[in-house]
Structure 1
Amino acid sequence: MKSNKTAFTALLSLSLLAAGCGEYSKSPEGDMNELRQWQQEQNGKNNGPVIKYVDKPVEQPPQIVYREQAKVGRDAIIISTGTLMTFSEGVKTSYPIRTAITVPGVKIRLKAANFPKDIPLEESKTEPGVFVLTWTPDFYTIPSGETHKTFIAKVIPEIIAGDAKVVEALRGLDLSQDFTVQVLPTQELPSALTVSGLEAEVMEGTVVPFSVTVKVPGVDDKSAEKPTLEVSYDKISVTEGNSFLEMDGTRHVTPDATKKSAEYLGNYQWKFSLLFDTQKMSRQTQLAKDGSEMANADGTRVRFSLKAKGGRDLSTPVKLVQVKIKALPKVEAEPTPTTETTVTPAETKKEETKAETTPAKKEEVTTRSAKVDTAKAAEAAKKVADAKKAADAKKAADAKKAADAKKAADAKKAADAKKAADAKKAADAKKDTKTTTTTKKKTTTTAKKETK
C-alpha cells in the first residue's frame, strides 16, 4: 500500500512538472483523468476503498459579453425579426422586433426597408430593446388574379450614440436583418347597401327616380375595377299570409341615363342612380295564388332583388325590395244623350245586319276598345302627373313668397332700427349742443361780473 502511494506521488510530481513546461502539449485535464483511473485500478487490486471523482458544473446567470473595440463585428448588434410576417389588406397588424447590443454605450433605432411605403418602427415603452413594426397594407396591394403577395423586407439599425471609434466601425458593417413578408387579400365584403327614394307604393303611370348606395372596401374612383349592381327576380311569387302573387319587378327598373352608372362619394362609398318606370312599362294584372286574374285588385304587387359586387367577386348580401303599383282610378265614360227617333223597316234591317258580326270583327272591336282604355289610362296618368307637378310648383311658389315676405320684414325691421338709432343720435347731438350753449352763456355772465 505504501509503495502505491509513493508511485502515485512521483507520477503526480512528474505530471505537474510537465504541465509547467511549454513543450508538453497534452491537456492537463486528460492527465488528471488518467491519474484517477490508475488510482482506482490500484485501489481495486489491493481491495481498498474506491474513490469516485465527480465534476459538478458551476451554474452562472447568463450575461452579455461586451466586445473590445478592436473586435467589433456584425454580432455587436443582434436583431431578431422571426422568419415570416403575415398581413391582410386593410387590416392593421403589429410585430415585435427584439434587439441586443454587446458593445457598451451604443444606442440604436430601427427602420424598415423594401415595403411599398415607409413603415414606422416605434420603440417599446415597456420592454427594453424591443421595437414594434406596424403596417396596414392598402386594399388591392395584391394584383388582380393573384391569391397573395410575398416579398423580402429588411430591418436596418441606425447608430445614434456610442464611442466615436465604435460607431465608425459599426457604420462600416452591414447590420441589416432580412425577413419574409406575406400579404393576404381582404375578405371584407361590400356592405351597407341602402335604397333611397323608392316608397313602398307608387302610382301607376309615373317614373320614380331612386338610388342605391353601397360601401365597397378598397375600391375608389382610382381603382381599375369599379363596383357593379345586379337587379334580379328571385321567382318567389308566393309569400305566406298573402292571397296574391308577387310579380316580377325587374321589368320596371332601369338605369337613369341622365346620371353616371356608378358615382363615387368618397370613403369607398358608391351610388347607383335608377328609375322605377311604370309609364313606358305598364303594370301587369294582379294574379291570385292560383294564377287567376284579380279583377277587383287596386294595384299590382311586385318584387326584385339587389346585390352589389366589388373586386375578387366579393358581394353584399341580397336585398329584397317590394313595391305596390297602385292602379289608376277608373275613368267612367259620360252617358250619351238619347233622343227618340222613328225607325223605318229598312233601318231595322240594317241594324240587324250590323248585329250579325263575324268573330274577326268582334275581336277587332275588342282590341280597339282595349286601345281606348289604355289611352284613357295614359291620359289619367298624365293628369295625375300634371296635378302633382302643379302642386309642387305652387308649393315652391308659396315657399318663395314666404321667404320674400320674411326678407322684406327683416329689411323693414333693420330700416326701422336704423331710423330709431339715427333719431336718438340726432337728439343726443342736439342735447349736447344746448348744454354747450348754456355753459358758454354762464361763462360770459361770470366774466362780466368779475369785470365790474
Structure 2
Amino acid sequence: MKTNHALISVLSLSLLAAGCGEYSKNPVQDLAAMRDNARLELKKGPDSVREITKEVIVKEDRIVKIEESTINGSLLVISADEDMDFEEGKTKQYKIQARVLDPSVEIKLNVEEKPKEVSIEKSTKEADVYILTYTPALYTVPANKKKQKLKVVLKAVVTSTKNAADAAKYEGLVRTKELNLTVFRTEDAPSEVQVLGLGTQVSEGSITTFSVTAKVPGTDANAPQKPSLIVTADENQSSAGQSFKDLDGSRHIPADTKVEYVKDSVWKFTKTFDTQNIPVQPQVGKTGAILQNVDGTFVRVAFRVAYDGLQTAPTVQRIKIAYTKPISAPRFDLTSIGQTGLKASPGKTVVANFTVSSADAQAEVKVESPVTSLDVNPSLTCVDASTGANKQNCTLSLNVSCETKLENLNGDITVNALSIVNGRNSNLVAAKIKVVATQDATLCSAEAAK
C-alpha cells in the first residue's frame, strides 16, 4: 500500500509540470465538448458543389450543358486515320479533322513535328478539315527494309472565344495527337522497255551498237543499286506458218554492259550485237537439219530489265543475220593424173586418184558425180580425209567395154565440187580430166575393137 501512494504522488507532480501555468481545466469536460462538436459537423454533411454551367447550342433542338469541371483538353478533338500508308515517289493525301465541342470557341491545328516533305493545309471546302499531303522522297526506306515508320505530331490550340468571360477558362487549353506514317518502297515493276538501234536485219561480219531503255519506278541517279539487263533466248523458236527455227541470238550479245541514268526514272543500257567475232550458226529447219541455199540465219533475243526482285515481261527482238562473207571454193589436186590425162582403151578399166580440199577447216567439201559424153561409164567415190570433211580423197573409175569405138574415148570428164560452211554454199568449181584413146589389141579381139 505504501508503494501505491507513492506512485500516485509522482503522477500528480508530472501533470502539474506538463501544464502551462496553473492547471485548472477539467480534461473530462473538454472531451465531452469535442464529441458534441463532431456530432454537429457530421449532421451538416459535405459542402455543396458549385454548379457553374453554361449552355452550348450544338443543334437547334438540343442544348448541352458543360460543367466547369470538364473544361479540359477533351473538348478538343483531332480525328485521323490510324494508319496512313505512302509509297516512295508517289503523292497521297489524307484528311484530318480538328474540331471543338463548344461552338463558341475557335481553334487552330498546329504541326509540332513532321517529315520535311509533309504539308498540312486547312481545307477550303470542308469545315474543320485539314489536308495532309505527302510525297515521300526516294530512298526514304533504307535499302535493307521494305517499309519505314515516321510520325507527325499535331497540336490543337484555342485561338479565340466568342464570350470574353470564357476566355480565362480556355486559355492554354491544348490537345496533342501523334499520327503514324508508313512509307513503303515502290512495288511497281520496271516497264516500258524499248530496243533502239538494233534493226530487224544485220550483216554477217559486223558489230552493231544498240541500246535498251526502261522505266524503273522509285529510282534516280542516286539509286543505291543499279537496275540490270537480262538477255536470253526466246522461249518461242518459230512463228505460225514458218518452216524453220529461229535460233538463239543472245549468243551474239557479249556480257559487257554500260548502264546510265537518263531522267524521270528511265535507265539506258548500251550493248553490242557481234557477228564479226562470234560465228553465225547455220539456218536449220524444224527437224534440226541444216538448210541449203539460204541467204541468212534468223535469231531471236529476249530482253528483261530487273530491279529489287522485280522484272519486266520479255521484250523480244527478231533479227535476220544476212550472209555476206564469201565461202571459199574448194581446189582440185590432179597431180597424180598429170597433164597427159587418162589413157582409155576398149575393154580396159582405168582408175585415177585425186583430192579436193577447202582452206576453211569448218567447210564440208561436196564432190558431184562426173559428167561426160564419152563412152567410158565413169564412177566416182570420195571419202573424208583424216583432217576432216574439208578434204576429200576421191577415186575415179572408167570402165570401157570392148564394143567402145576409139573415137568415143577422146575428150574430157568434168567433175564439180563446192564447199559448205554453216549451211552456205560456195561457188561451184569444175575440174576437167582429159581422156585419151589408146589401142591395146590384147584386151579385146581385133574385130571388137574396130
TM-score, structure 1 normalization: 0.57
Equivalent pair of 1:112/1:119 in contact (CA under 8 Å): no
> Any idea what SS the aligned residue of 2:258 has?
coil
Amino acid at match of 2:183: V
Per-residue CA deviations over 1:105-133 (Å, capped at 9, x if unaligned) read: 544143262x4324211111222111111
Structural RMSD (CA): 4.4
Change (3 A) 1:289 1:373: closer
Amino acid at match of 1:142: V
2:260 equivalent in structure 1? 263
Hey, what's the Cα distance between the residues in 2 that align with 1:344 and 1:24?
A: 152
Change (3 A) 1:88 1:359: closer
Change (3 A) 1:282 1:98: same
Give the C-alpha shift of residue 317 in structure 1: 1.4
Hey, what's the Cα distance between the residues in 2 that align with 1:196 and 1:189?
A: 21
1:87 equivalent in structure 2? 86
Equivalent pair of 1:210/1:273 in contact (CA under 8 Å): yes
Structure 1 unpaired stretches of 5+? 1-21, 28-58, 346-350, 378-452
Tell whether 2:251 aligns with 1:251: yes
Hey, what's the Cα distance between the residues in 1 that align with 2:221 and 2:292?
A: 50
Structure 2 unpaired stretches of 5+? 1-42, 49-58, 333-337, 343-350, 356-380, 393-416, 426-450
Equivalent pair of 1:252/1:276 in contact (CA under 8 Å): yes
Give the C-alpha shift of residue 200 in structure 1: 0.5
Hey, what's the Cα distance between the residues in 1 that align with 2:245 and 2:315?
A: 19
Amino acid at match of 2:258: S
Amino acid at match of 1:75: S
Q: Matches of residues 39-50 of structure 1 in structure 2 within 5 Å?
A: none
Hey, what's the Cα distance between the residues in 2 that align with 1:207 and 1:370?
A: 29
Tell whether 2:344 aligns with 1:319: no
Per-residue CA deviations over 1:371-405 (Å, capped at 9, x if unaligned) read: 9979x99xxxxxxxxxxxxxxxxxxxxxxxxxxxx
1:298 equivalent in structure 2? 295
Count of aligned positions: 309
Change (3 A) 1:119 1:225: same
Tell whether 2:133 aligns with 1:134: yes
Equivalent pair of 1:203/1:326 in contact (CA under 8 Å): yes
Hey, what's the Cα distance between the residues in 2 that align with 1:86 and 1:62?
A: 39
1:148 equivalent in structure 2? 147
Equivalent pair of 2:217/2:265 in contact (CA under 8 Å): yes
Hey, what's the Cα distance between the residues in 1 that align with 2:280 and 2:151?
A: 62
Hey, what's the Cα distance between the residues in 2 that align with 1:169 and 1:199?
A: 80
2:233 equivalent in structure 1? 233
1:396 equivalent in structure 2? none
Q: Matches of residues 34-433 of structure 1 in structure 2 within 5 Å?
A: 61-62=61-62, 73-101=72-100, 102=102, 104=104, 106-111=106-111, 113=113, 115-157=114-156, 175-255=175-255, 261-311=258-308, 313-328=309-324, 330=326, 343=340, 352=352, 359-361=384-386, 363=388, 366=391
Give the C-alpha shift of residue 138 in structure 1: 3.1
Hey, what's the Cα distance between the residues in 1 that align with 2:63 and 2:79?
A: 18
1:55 equivalent in structure 2? none
Change (3 A) 1:144 1:352: same
Give the C-alpha shift of residue 227 in structure 1: 0.4
Hey, what's the Cα distance between the residues in 2 that align with 1:273 and 1:127?
A: 53
Change (3 A) 1:236 1:342: closer
Hey, what's the Cα distance between the residues in 1 that align with 2:209 and 2:127?
A: 63
Give the C-alpha shift of residue 158 in structure 1: 5.6
Amino acid at match of 2:222: K
Give the C-alpha shift of residue 79 in structure 1: 1.7
Amino acid at match of 2:295: D
Give the C-alpha shift of residue 210 in structure 1: 0.5
Hey, what's the Cα distance between the residues in 2 that align with 1:97 and 1:211?
A: 48
Change (3 A) 1:354 1:321: closer
Equivalent pair of 1:72/1:166 in contact (CA under 8 Å): no
Equivalent pair of 2:330/2:419 in contact (CA under 8 Å): no
Equivalent pair of 1:112/1:121 in contact (CA under 8 Å): no
Structure with the higher helix share, 1 or 2: 1
Q: Matches of residues 9-20 of structure 1 in structure 2 within 5 Å?
A: none
Per-residue CA deviations over 1:127-150 (Å, capped at 9, x if unaligned) read: 211111122223443333434333
Equivalent pair of 2:156/2:174 in contact (CA under 8 Å): no
Equivalent pair of 2:117/2:136 in contact (CA under 8 Å): no
Give the C-alpha shift of residue 253 in structure 1: 1.1
> Any idea what SS the aligned residue of 2:118 has?
coil
Change (3 A) 1:120 1:354: closer
Amino acid at match of 1:309: A
Change (3 A) 1:190 1:357: closer
> Any idea what SS the aligned residue of 1:292 has?
coil
> Any idea what SS the aligned residue of 1:251 has?
helix
Hey, what's the Cα distance between the residues in 1 that align with 2:82 and 2:390?
A: 86
Hey, what's the Cα distance between the residues in 1 that align with 2:279 and 2:103?
A: 86
Change (3 A) 1:87 1:248: same
Hey, what's the Cα distance between the residues in 2 that align with 1:67 and 1:79?
A: 22
**Based on CA coordinates, which of the two structures has the bigger radius of gyration?**
2
Change (3 A) 1:353 1:190: closer
Change (3 A) 1:235 1:84: closer
Hey, what's the Cα distance between the residues in 1 that align with 2:281 and 2:135?
A: 53
